[in-house]
Amino acid sequence: MAYKIIASQCTGCGACEFECPNEAISENENVFAIDPDKCTECEGYFDSPQCVSVCPVDETCVLL
């Protein structure tokens, strides 16, 4: 599975982009998106998904 950023809730702060160990997060018109083919939910890197950990808006990053 992979995480997804809910575009309508994304503030465009960019905190998640640099925390992703798989470089799965990219910006498009001040909104960030996660490439599901690259997202591993941070398994093998961290105990919890870093996009969820650093996002200042609750429930912006959700598991598909």
| Residue with the two structure tokens 């598909």 | 64
CATH number of the domain to which 58 belongs: 3.30.70.20
Total number of domains constituting the chain: 1
Give the pLDDT band of residue 30 (cuts 50, 70, 90). Answer: confident
Q: Where are the beta strands (DSSP E) in the chain?
A: 3-5, 25-28, 31-34, 61-63
Digit-coded pLDDT (tens) for 31-58: 899 999 999 999 999 999 999 999 999 9
What are the residue ranges of helices labelled H in the chain?
A: 50-54
Encoded tokens for 27: 């910006």
pTM: 0.90
- Identity of the residue numbered 18: F
Domain that holds residue 4: 1-64
